[in-house]
Amino acid sequence: MTRSSHLEKTHRLNAAFNLLAQGYALADAADTLSQKFGFSRRQAYRYLQAAQALEAPVPVASPSLPITIKMPEEVATRLRAHAQTSGMTMGEIAAQAIIRFLDSIHHHG
């Protein structure tokens, strides 16, 4: 059996959260999840337990696409160092910076 992707886990966790928010009893929610996603009741209870700790559904991230870019070595070194100390990936840092840049162009141009 293959492992679930992060996106699949997020959808399952949100489904568990929504069932609890709708007032389903744990047993009924576990049955519903296991039937909908085709996994065991035990696994359904794990998702329900995790969902009980949430205050809101988990945001679903859009899929990432790999790209190749060239940048000055100094910039790449600083990016790599920041990624290591911040706990973020280089892609997350670059995406945030690019979004800020594009938003500033959109608002000023």
Kindly list the averaged pLDDT for each block of 10 residues, start to end, along the chain of length 109.
78 96 97 95 97 92 87 96 90 91 79
DSSP SS3 for 32? helix
Report the length, in residues, of the chain: 109
pLDDT at 36: 95
pLDDT at 59: 86
24: domain range?
6-52
> 14-46: string of b/e by CB count within 10 Å (b at 16+)?
bbbbebbeeebeeeebbeebbeebebeeebbbb
Helices (H), ranges, the chain: 6-21, 26-37, 41-52, 73-86, 90-108
Domain-embedded: residue 104: yes
Domain-embedded: residue 67: no
Residue 24 structure tokens: 């389903």
Spatial CB neighbours of 35, under 8 Å, sequence gap ≥ 6: none
Q: Domain count of the chain?
A: 2
11, 46: one domain:
yes
